[in-house]
Structure 1
Amino acid sequence: MRSLLIIANPGTRSFSHAMAAGAQEVLAAQGCDVVVHDLYAERFNPVQAHGESENTSSADPLVEQHCRELAQADLILVFHPNWWGQPPAILKGWIDRVFRLGTAYDYPPGVGYDGVPEGRLRAACALVFNTSNTPAAREAEVFGDPLEALWKRCVFGLCGVSNVVRRMYGPVSDSSAEQRSRWLAEVRGLVETACREPGIQR
C-alpha cells in the first residue's frame, strides 16, 4: 500500500507532528510505502502563479512531485491545526495547486466546468487529524465544524475518496500528558485499521 502523509503545522514540536510520527511508525510496521511531506519544512509555495490558471500543470517541480504522489496514493493522511475554522494557508494552497484538474478530478466528455466533476483519486481512504483549542461543544454549537464539510465533501468527496475519517483533538493547550497519550493511541489505531481495511468506514 502506498501512503501519502502531509503535515501542515509550523511548530515542529506540535501535537500535529507527534500524531504524524505515530502514524509513520504504524505505517512502517504494517509494511506500507510512506511518502512524508512537512509543507513548512520543505517551504512548499502555496501561491498559484498566473501561468497555472488552467491548473493542469506547473513549472514548479515540487508541485509536479506532489501531484504524482497524490495520484498514486492508496491512503492519504493529513495533519493540521484548526485556524479560524480552516487549514493553515500553506495547506489550502497545497490543495489549490495539487488537487488539480486531470490529477484529482475530471469532467466527463461533453461536460463543461459548470457541470459535475468526477473524482480521479485512487485512494480508498483518507484520514484527517486536526488540533484545536476550542472545546468541542462550542465548536459544534457556534461554528458548526466547517472542517468536517471541507475535507469530507468539498475536497476528498469531490475527488472520489468516499471513506474519509476525521478527528479533532483538543483543547490541546491545557491537555494533560495522559490525555495526549489517549489521543495518540486513537490515531495509531485508526491508521492501523485503515492499513488493514482501507475501504471500511469508521
Structure 2
Amino acid sequence: MQALLVICHPVQRSLSRHLADRALTAARDAGHQVDIVDLVALGFDPRLNAGERSGYYAADADISDPIIREMATQLRQAELLILVFPTWWFGFPALLKGWFDRVWRPGIAFDHSADRGKLVPRLARLRHVVAVTTLGSPRWVDWLVLRRPLRRVLRWAIMAPCAPKARLHWLALYRAEDVTPERAERFAGKVAHTIARLTR
C-alpha cells in the first residue's frame, strides 16, 4: 500500500520518535511505499492563514503554499496513514492539529455539499489509519473520566466525513512518562505487529 507516516514530537530522542522508527521499519518490511512528514523537521506552520480561511468555501480555492500542496497530494494518495504523536491535555499537539486544519481541507479531504450540510468525502483511497500515541495519564482517566476524547475526535469528527471506509487502529501507551524499557518495547512490538498485518 501507499503509506503516509506523520510524525509530531519536538524532541529527537523521545519515545514517540522511537515508535515512529519502529512503525516506519514495519511498514517498509511489509512492502508498503512510505512518504514521511516530520512536522517539526519541516518547520511546519500550523496556523491557518487568512487566505486559506477566506477561500474555505470557494470551490476552486488554490493551494498557494508548496509544502501544503505536497502534503495534500501525499494525503490523497495514501491508503495507509500512520500518525505518531504525544497526547497533550487530551488533545492533539498544536502542530498536528494544524496539519489537520491546513491539509484536510475542502477540495482535498472533503467537499462541501451544495446546501453546506453533510460533507462529501474525498479520501476514498484511505483504508487504514494507525494512530500511535503516548499519554502521561493512566488508562482509567482516558477511558472512564474523559471517554477517550481524542479517539472520538479522530474517528467521528475527522475520518467519518472524509474517509468513512477507513478503519481506525488506535494504539495508546499510558503512563508513558515513567514507562520501563521493557514495557516500551512491548508497546513498540504491538505497533509493528499492527502495521505488519494490514492489507487492503
- The normalised TM-score by structure 2 is 0.92
Picking from 43, 58, 62, the partner of 1:57 is 62
Counterpart pick for 2:79 among 74, 81, 85: 74
Aligned to 1:144: 147
1:167 lines up with 2:163 in the alignment: no
User: Where does residue 122 of structure 2 map in the other structure?
Assistant: 120
CA deviations on 1:56-86 (whole Å, 9 max, x unpaired) are: 4332110000000000001001011111111
1:1-202 superposed matches below 5 A: 1-53=1-53, 54-55=55-56, 56-108=61-113, 111-113=114-116, 115-121=117-123, 122-161=125-164, 162-194=166-198, 197-198=199-200
Per-residue deviation, residues 70-108 of structure 1 (Å, max 9, x unmatched): 000010010111111111111111100000111101134
SS at match of 1:42: coil
Contact 1:8 1:40 (8 Å CA) reproduced: yes
Cα RMSD, aligned residues only: 1.2
Flag as ranges the 4+ runs of structure 1 deviating above 4 A: none
**Aligned mates of 2:52, 2:72 — CA distance in 1:** 14
Gaps spanning 5+ residues in structure 2: where? Answer: none
Letter in 1 for 2:188: L
